[in-house]
Amino acid sequence: MSPEYVRPYVKAQKNDDRDAEAIAEAATRPTMRFVELKSEEQLDVQTLHRVRDRLVGERTSLTNQIRSLLLERGHVVAQGHARLRLLLGELLDSGTDALSSRMVFLLADMRARWEDLDRRIAAFDAEFAAMARTDDRARRLTGIPGIGALNATALVAAVGNAATFDRGRDLAAWLGLVPRQATTGGRPKLLGITKRGSRYLRKMLIQGARSAMPSLARSDTAVGSWLRALLARAHPNVVVVALAAKMARTVWALLRHGRTYQAALMQA
């Protein structure tokens, strides 16, 4: 059980006896939500994702520092790793005097660390791709537009068979992709998304939705028609989050019922 669901049953001052009593009381509630225990394999995959995410963060921090050092010396670099790598090659390998010897040494060392991070991240990506090919659940999830090997393996490791959730909206709510509600006097008001649950999973789904939205919006499918209608009246960022929530519901359906993804065509 989540601690936030047990806390209301703690009476007066907190101690071990009252905590145990509160847990026992909360467990008897018919509407209580329980957390499904994860297998050793699921925990291992989640650990791999955490390590990869840390390496990606280190690479981003390193490349940002390289950009700032070059900017201080009058070298402006456009966005993208490819252009930064190209400029570094021109400055370090051409033998020009655009930089001091100390800066050349430091930037060469930072470039070597960058290349090492690229190799390590690529090794993780290859491992996740192999997992997605061998695991039946992850392979079925990769059929959903916007979900690749990274998203599929992360979702399978975190969600499992989705038996914990009664419906797709519960999974979307667990990921923090549904609007917050503020209801008073019988008048509901929808606010921004709750952003509860795993920040990593939510980030991966939103990034996948952002990459898939342009092609989906041009497709002759039910999702494409829904996206075009939503884009006509809402900001693209709002539409991306709505698409990520729809993807989460689709993930639940595939994991819960063991189905494969099939895009529904528009009805004439």
- The reported pLDDT for the residue numbered 161 is 81
How many residues appear in the chain? 268
Query: Per-residue confidence at 117, pLDDT binned at 50, 70, 90?
Result: very high
The answer to whether the CB of 2 falls within 8 A of the CB of 173 is no
- The reported pLDDT for the residue numbered 3 is 87
The answer to whether the CB of 260 falls within 8 A of the CB of 143 is yes
Residue 53 has pLDDT above 60, yes or no: yes
Q: What is the pLDDT of residues 218-235, one digit of tens each?
A: 999 999 999 999 999 999
Q: Where are the beta strands (DSSP E) in the chain?
A: 179-181, 190-193
pLDDT-above-90 percentage for the chain: 74
Query: 């990506």: which residue's tokens?
Result: 125
Q: What is the pLDDT of residues 55-78, one digit of tens each?
A: 999 999 999 999 999 999 999 998
Q: Which residue has the higher pLDDT, 48 or 33?
A: 48
Rounded mean pLDDT, 124-138: 96
- The reported pLDDT for the residue numbered 268 is 53
Average pLDDT along the chain? 92
Q: What is the pLDDT of residues 183-216, one digit of tens each?
A: 888 888 888 899 988 999 999 999 999 999 999 9
From residue 25, alpha-carbon distances to 12, 29, 37, 238 in Å are: 15, 7, 20, 40
Q: Which helix (H) or strand (E) holds 22?
A: helix 16-27
The answer to whether the CB of 147 falls within 8 A of the CB of 141 is yes
Q: What is the pLDDT of residues 148-177, one digit of tens each?
A: 999 999 999 999 888 888 899 999 999 999
Helix (H, G, I), strand (E, B) or coil at 184: strand
- Do the strands 179-181 and 190-193 form a parallel or antiparallel pair, or are they unpaired? antiparallel
Instruction: Give the burial class of 5: count Cβ atoms within 10 A of its Cβ; 0-12 exposed, 13-18 middle, 19 or more buried.
Output: middle
The answer to whether the CB of 159 falls within 8 A of the CB of 202 is no
End-to-end Cα, the chain, rounded Å:
48
pLDDT-above-70 percentage for the chain: 99
- The reported pLDDT for the residue numbered 94 is 77
Among the listed residues 111, 128, 109, 136, the one whose alpha carbon sits nearest the alpha carbon of residue 51: 128
